[in-house]
Amino acid sequence: MKLALTLFLCLLVAVKISYSQEEPQEAPAEVAEEANPAHTQTDEVPPPKGPCANWMGGAPGYPGHNGVPGRDGRDGRDGEKGEKGDDGVSGPKGDSGESGSPGLEGPRGFPGTPGMKGEKGESAYVYRSAFSVGLTSPNPPANVPIKFNKVFYNQQRHYDETTGKFRCSIPGVYYFSYHLTVYMRDVKVSMYKSDKPILFTLDQYQENNTDQASGSILLHLDAGNEIWLQVYGEERFNGIYANNDNDSTFTGFLLYPDMD
């Protein structure tokens, strides 16, 4: 044990001597340290005091643990704008929105082309009733219907030549008129509606001259009503005249029928 200790001490002395011999080579560094005494005082490592200094180091230690992560740094500046990407897939159709308020009326458009001609419709029923007749001989008898037996028009046969009466078949408004030639006697004539006189005409004869007596009226007739002319009063008022050159006429026709 004492021998080993002696050898260890001798080894330390040898190391000391070797260390002392290397000190002149480090003079420039010491000169620099003297020029900068602050540096020397602060950074100079004192030499080992004991005999065991640099000849025997300890075993390397284990690596230390990772430290705690540092704080996040500041956001970097925005980069340059990239290229436009491809269009994405269309999404589902959304719900219909509320209807907007009506806009202003636009200008009138051009007329359209005429349409196709329609089918022929059924003809409406036309109501007809008319007659026009005249005398063939003068001086008809008084107080009976005058028989106008010269027919100008009587297609519907509503005027009866044998009785001298017009009989209404279509209810409605009618127009009647008469134009009588007066000769040799005075004329007093009346129009009757179903046995009641409704219109009178009087014309006095002028000697050696012919005259005209006339009258017209609008009447509403019901079906079955009769209209005729007759000399009113005595025979001396039957100066109604007719020959090949002079006519006395009686005319009537329907203006419009009742639609009720």
The pLDDT confidence band at residue 234, using thresholds 50, 70 and 90, is confident
**pLDDT for res 32:** 39
The pLDDT confidence band at residue 123, using thresholds 50, 70 and 90, is low
pTM of structure: 0.53
What is the arithmetic mean of pLDDT over 226-236?
92
The pLDDT confidence band at residue 21, using thresholds 50, 70 and 90, is low
Q: Is the pLDDT at 213 greater than 80, yes or no?
A: yes
Instruction: Please tell me the distance from the alpha carbon of residue 248 to that of residue 146, in angstroms, as a whole number.
Output: 11
Instruction: Please tell me the distance from the alpha carbon of residue 135 to that of residue 145, in angstroms, as a whole number.
Output: 12
Residue 254: exposure state from Cβ atoms within 10 A (0-12, 13-18, ≥19) = buried
Find the range with the poorest average confidence among 9-13, 50-54, 220-224.
50-54
The pLDDT confidence band at residue 260, using thresholds 50, 70 and 90, is confident
What is the arithmetic mean of pLDDT over 187-191?
95
Instruction: Please tell me the distance from the alpha carbon of residue 150 to that of residue 130, in angstroms, as a whole number.
Output: 15
Instruction: Please tell me the distance from the alpha carbon of residue 159 to that of residue 209, in angstroms, as a whole number.
Output: 32
The pLDDT confidence band at residue 96, using thresholds 50, 70 and 90, is confident
**pLDDT for res 42:** 44
**pLDDT for res 182:** 93
The pLDDT confidence band at residue 140, using thresholds 50, 70 and 90, is very high
Q: Is the pLDDT at 220 greater than 90, yes or no?
A: yes
Average pLDDT, the chain: 83
Chain segment 37-51, per-residue pLDDT in tens: 444 444 455 555 555
**pLDDT for res 61:** 81
